Amino acid sequence: MSDKEITRNAVICGSGPAGWTAAIYLARAELKPLVIAGPQVGGQLTTTTTIENFPGFPEGRDGNQLMIDMEEQAKKYGAEVEYESCSGFEKDGDTFIVKYGNTSVRAHTILICTGSSARTLGIETEKTFWNYGVHTCAVCDGGFYRGKEVVIVGGGDSAMEEATYLAKLCTKVTVIHRRDELRASKIMAERALEHPKIEFEWNSTVEEVLGEVEGERKKRVTAVRLRNLKDDSRKELPTSAMFLAIGHTPNSGWLNGQVETGDSGYVVVDARQRTNLDGVFAAGDIHDHHYRQAITAAGYGCKAALEAERYLSQKGVIN
């Protein structure tokens, strides 16, 4: 029997902080988890620069390096990794068959840790300055723009929350919203609307990010070009950074509706990270659209691993 025909104790789909943390816990419990790393090994953190709010790194830690460290730690204790993407699963008796790449693996439990992806505007210059003035997380990257002027795109709760957060650090925050009415809840909208350091550009979209490029890692945003959707006029707004808060999309499409998701596609879990399917757990941004932090994702990954271990024990798969 090939190794792949053995029924695995746990298959972890996804390799962000939730997936690697689950892998570390399950590997240390000698359950030899298999991680199917997904299209972006390490997840969203690999596209950030320095992470200053992950405890234990007073000098900050490069996001990509943090994920490499987590992967190494999981492998050190016996986690195995396939550099493929989970594409679906089916229940077969008491076990699951998880499909990935051109193959599949049988498992007693599945941990869904496939995260979410921040929505982007889809303009070319957004890619040019990605992480060098264009960001999707104010709590993560706002500190780089202390004492500067920034813009934030979006009109929902995230945009208002992040604008209010950035206003503590920055001299001015301009919210750019495509309509003349906010989607955000009344209380969060009012907080931003009444804030002396927050201004609004209504009925506007960002057409282009402008800045200086002097090599791959030396880039600087200097302004955004706005288009007014009412009168089609353009104007340049000087800024040091553009934060996007136009929503996230959970990477749950591959589940094909086999586990319960809410309206926006986030997997529904209970307080013990259990989905509606016995033996299937979920952790991280795939279910959490509220906190979306590396440290909370890692915490959820830990919970899911401990619950999976308990499930395996209750089923008599392990002692």
Annotation marks residue 285 as catalytic: no
Of 12, 153, 221, 255, the one binding ligand NAP by CB under 6 A:
153
Is residue 156 at the binding interface for ligand NAP, with CB under 6 A as the rule? yes
Sheet of strand 241-244: strand arrangement:
134-135, 241-244, 149-153, 172-176, 198-201
Nearest approach, Cβ of residue 268 and ligand NAP (Å):
14
* Stretch of 22-30, 36-44, 158-166, 209-217 contacting ligand NAP, by CB under 6 A: 158-166
- With tokens 């319960």, the residue in question is 260
Q: State the CB neighbour count (10 A cutoff) for residue 295.
A: 14
Q: Cα separation of 277 and 250, whole Å?
A: 19
Pick left, alpha or beta for residue 150 (phi over 0 → left; psi -120 to 50 → alpha; otherwise beta): beta
Q: Which is nearer to ligand NAP, 72 or 207 (CB)?
A: 207
- Out of 16, 17, 19, 155, the only residue in the binding site for ligand NAP (CB under 6 A) is 155
Q: Roughly what angle, to the nearest 10 degrees, separates helices 186-193 and 157-169?
A: 30
| Consecutive H or E run containing 147 | none
Measured CA to CA, the distance from residue 35 to residue 79 in angstroms comes to 7
Q: Which of 28, 106, 178, 197 binds ligand NAP (CB under 6 A)?
A: 178
Q: What span, in angstroms and rounded, lies between the C-alpha atoms of 106 and 299?
A: 26
183 interacts with ligand NAP by CB under 6 A: yes
Please say if 13 is a catalytic residue. no
Tell me whether residue 15 or residue 158 sits nearer to ligand NAP (CB atom): 158
Q: Does 121 bind ligand NAP (CB under 6 A)?
A: yes
* Beta carbon of residue 150, minimum distance to ligand NAP (angstroms, whole number): 16
In the three-class reduction of DSSP (H, G, I as helix; E, B as strand; rest coil), residue 116 is classed as: strand
Q: Residue 28 or 227: which CB sits closer to ligand NAP? A: 227
Q: Dmax of the chain from CA atoms?
A: 69
CA distance 295 to 63: 12
Of the residues 86, 113, 141, 170, only one is catalytic, namely 141
Q: Which is nearer to ligand NAP, 242 or 298 (CB)?
A: 242
Min. distance of Cβ 307 from ligand NAP in angstroms?
25
Q: Which member of 168, 179, 220, 272 binds ligand NAP (CB under 6 A)?
A: 179
Strand partners, 81: 35
Is 3 in the active site? no
The answer to the question of residue 154 lying near ligand NAP (CB under 6 A) is: yes
Residues binding ligand NAP: number (CB under 6 A): 18
Q: Which residue among 157, 191, 229, 306 contacts ligand NAP (CB under 6 A)?
A: 157
279 Cα distance to chain centroid = 24
Q: What angle do CA 248, 285, 69 make, to 5 degrees?
A: 120
Taking CB atoms, the residue at the shortest distance from ligand NAP is 156
**Rounded Cα–Cα distance for residues 315 and 279 (Å):** 10
250 is a site residue for ligand NAP (CB under 6 A): no
Task: Return the SS3 of 190.
Answer: helix
The active-site residue out of 13, 86, 113, 140 is 140
The residues of the shown chain that bind ligand NAP, judged by CB under 6 A, are 119, 121, 153-159, 161, 178-179, 183, 205, 245-247, 289
Q: Among all residues, which ones are annotated catalytic?
A: 137, 140-141
